[in-house]
Amino acid sequence: MYMNEDYFRIRINSIHPAQPVPFDIYIYINGKYIHYLRDGDSITKEKLKKFESKAPESFFILYEHKGKYKDYVHDLIESDKVSPQEKALILRESSIALVEELFESPNVEKALNDSKVIISDFINFMGEEPEGMADLIGLSSHDFYTYNHSLDVSIYALGLGQVVGYSKEDLKVLGEGSLFHDIGKRNVSADIICKAGPLDENEWAEMQKHPEFGLAILNQYDVSDAIKACCFEHHESFTGNGYPQKLHADEIHPMARIVAITDTYDALTTKRTYNQPMSPEKALKFIKNKLISRFDPDLVNAMYSVLFQL
Ligand SMILES: [Fe+2]
Ligand SMILES: [Fe+2]
């Protein structure tokens, strides 16, 4: 993981083509940061495409320009000259850089505060663009990295919350809770997190501690009970055989029930080294036929609306 303190990694797809970019962009090649784009210059669509496939992980800005970058993204999301599809891409790609920081940064309090901005941007976008949720879902990565996974679970959870009638305020809490549901994985060894294959018994036992680890982290900060529940109760099952508390149906926090189903859905539709991803249709069928007893049945039905009727 590159963590040079002077530079902040961005996704090149979060840059809009053919418009002046108000900060310098660097590219990391052969151990060096090389000046790539000067403040005020713009990048062509063709060039963006080329880099997107060749070196999507290699673009950086100066850390001190992070504020400028956030404002730049915010202006694009508000602009009426940018299409909803482009906005969805910019929003998702810019958030990944921030989510990565949420999981890497030692300052969890700052990460919790920064995440509020990300979630608000998503909720505003969903409110302003009726097709926005479908665009966002269409961009789900299907690659498993904790960052992508957390962001995708958050996006699905916001969609599900919207379908079941959550207020904007509740959506903010749900969005944050789902973004941090796996925060406890910070304390699980990287060898287990990154293992390319099924876990053995001991590794699995360690992995299953992540809800407790997460709760212990969140307990150190001023965080609502609902956010803590998203983290601590997202592996509970309606039948009472989940973990860590073996809660039953109504004992599970409603927001944690949303995270439970969106978390499973994302796992089923994501490619890992040892399984092929399911299509959305197949994954929902699988949940309905094989896993239905684990979840709130109303939410299983609402997932259909999120994925196919929005
Ligand atoms: Fe989890
Ligand atoms: Fe998860």
Encode pLDDT of 130-187 as tens digits: 788 888 888 776 665 677 899 999 999 999 999 999 999 999 999 999 999 999 998 9
Alpha-carbon distances, residue 131 vs 88, 118, 126, 306 (angstroms): 10, 19, 8, 11
User: Which range, 48-52, 57-61, 240-244, is most confident?
Assistant: 240-244
Residue 267 sits at the vertex; the CA angle it makes with 266 and 272, to the nearest 5 degrees, is 125
Rounded to the nearest whole angstrom, what is the distance from the C-alpha of residue 263 to the centroid of ligand 2? 5
Rounded to the nearest whole angstrom, what is the distance from the C-alpha of residue 227 to the centroid of ligand 1? 14
The pLDDT, as a whole number, for residue 134 is 85
Q: Is 31 left (phi over 0), alpha (psi -120 to 50) or beta?
A: left
DSSP string, 83-136: -HHHHHHHHHHHHHHHHHHHHH-S-HHHHHHHHHHHHHHHHHHHHH-TTHHHHH
Encode pLDDT of 18-47 as tens digits: 789 999 999 988 889 999 899 999 988 888
Nearest ligand to the CA atom of 208 = 1
Quote the tokens at residue 30. 């052969």
Catalytic residues, by residue number, are: 185
The pLDDT, as a whole number, for residue 1 is 43
Contact 19, 42 (CB under 8 A): yes
181-198 burial string, b = 16+ CB within 10 Å, else e? bbbbbbebeeebbeeeee
Architecture per CATH, domain 107-309, reads as Orthogonal Bundle (1.10)
DSSP string, 157-177: HHHHHHHTT--HHHHHHHHHH
Alpha-carbon distances, residue 258 vs 7, 236, 305 (angstroms): 36, 11, 14
Encode pLDDT of 235-285 as tens digits: 999 999 999 999 999 999 999 999 999 999 999 998 776 678 899 999 999
Residues lining ion ligand 2 (Cβ < 5 A) are: 182, 263
Contact 233, 253 (CB under 8 A): yes
The pLDDT, as a whole number, for residue 2 is 46
Contact 77, 38 (CB under 8 A): no
Contact 63, 5 (CB under 8 A): yes
Q: Select the more confidently predicted residue: 141 or 308.
A: 308
Nearest to 57 by CA among 88, 14, 86, 21: 14
Rounded to the nearest whole angstrom, what is the distance from the C-alpha of residue 217 to the centroid of ligand 2? 16
Rounded to the nearest whole angstrom, what is the distance from the C-alpha of residue 185 to the centroid of ligand 2? 9
How many residues would you count in the chain?
A: 310
Rounded to the nearest whole angstrom, what is the distance from the C-alpha of residue 126 to the centroid of ligand 2? 23
Rounded to the nearest whole angstrom, what is the distance from the C-alpha of residue 234 to the centroid of ligand 1? 6
Helix (H, G, I), strand (E, B) or coil at 143: strand
Rounded to the nearest whole angstrom, what is the distance from the C-alpha of residue 89 to the centroid of ligand 2? 22
Nearest ligand to the CA atom of 210 = 1
SS (H, E, C) 218-244: HCCCCCCHHHHHHHHCCCCCCCCCCCC
**What spatial distance separates the first Cα and last Cα of the chain, rounded to whole Å?**
37
Alpha-carbon distances, residue 6 vs 32, 62, 268 (angstroms): 12, 6, 38
Nearest ligand to the CA atom of 268 = 2
Q: What is the DSSP letter of 82?
A: S
Distance CA 104, CA 217 (A): 14
Nearest ligand to the CA atom of 236 = 1
Rounded to the nearest whole angstrom, what is the distance from the C-alpha of residue 154 to the centroid of ligand 2? 10
Domain boundaries, the chain: 1-82, 107-309
Encode pLDDT of 67-91 as tens digits: 899 899 988 988 888 889 989 988 9
Nearest ligand to the CA atom of 146 = 2
The pLDDT, as a whole number, for residue 273 is 65
Rounded to the nearest whole angstrom, what is the distance from the C-alpha of residue 35 to the centroid of ligand 2? 37
